[in-house]
Structure formats: structure tokens, C-alpha cells
Amino acid sequence: MSTKITAAVRALRDDLINADGPRISTMRNYRYAILQYDPKDEFFLRQEIQRLTDDLVTTGWVVLPINLQKLLFDRVRSQGADWATRVAKQERDIGRQDPDRGLNYLSNKLAPMIMGPEGLAADCSKIICDFIDANPDRADRTVAIIGRAGSLYPFFRSSALLRHLDGHTRQVPVILLYPGERRTQTGLSFMGLLEPDQDYRPRIYS
């Protein structure tokens, strides 16, 4: 429900601008959190995040928005002008015979760009670290908000992204916007369709 998103964003805001420093995690030197929301509320969530961003900026924060969909598209474009066309054609040809094989083919092509320490986690880390290198005086007042994860379904595992980011964000607080369902205290189902992933250390706002 939209009211749940509003309450979750408000709680996140209060924890970020705490007078003693961000308290989005109960673990020392671990500044990661997840904002979970129902995928159908994607556009309402974006409005709330824009309000949060405006609010943080007015209190002296720098907000680094990181768009996972754009990062993936950038990687696809780097493969060459006709790479996506060739891969899509091959996926269609295989999929006509066996849809599961077609999906597996596409997953094998995209997985190296998305997953692992050299995947999108490396791109996120670079954005954050490049900004802090250029603005070291803003390090204590910067937060990164990673969104558009839903566009990577079903090839993306957010727990893996956060695991590979750990230790590579210069202690900048990182918030992952997570479209899915909360099944247990620490278990999240991506888009509400994949099996719940229990491998979550960050605090979950929902």
C-alpha cells in the first residue's frame, strides 16, 4: 500500500539524518539498507524517493541516484552496435523450440554483465567512489540510492549486488530500492515471483 511506502520512506529519512550520523544499520561500518515495496507501486515509490531526495538536499545532503537499468544498457551498448540484435534473434530462435532454453541462453549472455564483483556492483562502486574522490569534503553527507532493479528481472539477485558492494563504497550509506515481497524477517522475494532469498544483512524498511 502507498501508505506503507510513505511510512517506510519517512523512517529511512529519520535514520539517515540522525544527529549522531546515519543509523540505517545495527552493524558497525555496514551502511546498507533495503527499501522494499510492492512492484505495482513503482511509480508511487519514485515520487516518494524524489520527495526524500529534495528533503535530504535541503538539509545539506548529496544524493547519488544510481539507475541499474541504465547501467545494464550502457554495458549492452559497449558490446557493439549489433550485439543486442544478434542475441535477441538467437534467443527468439531457441525460444521457439524451447522457451526455457531461450531464457537460459539470454541469462548466460547477460549474467556476466549483471552479476559478480565485476558486474553492476563494480559500476555502482565506481559512481560512488569517483564522486567521493572528487568531493572528499562531502563524504559524510552523501547517500547513494540504487533503483530500477525490477527492469533486471529475472536475471538479478540483489543480495549478491550488496555483497559485492560491501567494502567498496567508502562508507557512503547505500539504499537499494527493492521491488518484491517480504516473506520473513530477513527473507525477500524479488518481484514477488522468485524464491525468497534469505541472504540479507542490511536493515529492511518496508
Cα 170 from Cα 188, distance rounded (Å): 26
The answer, yes or no, to whether residue 2 has pLDDT greater than 80, is: no
The mean predicted confidence, pLDDT, of the chain is 90
Q: Which tens digits make up the pLDDT trace of 146-167?
A: 999 999 988 888 888 998 999 9
pTM of the model: 0.92
Domains of the chain: 2-80+117-205 (3.40.50)
Higher local confidence (pLDDT), 194 or 111: 111
pLDDT at residue number 53: 97
Distances (CA, A) of 33 to 5, 45, 85, 159, 163: 15, 16, 37, 11, 12
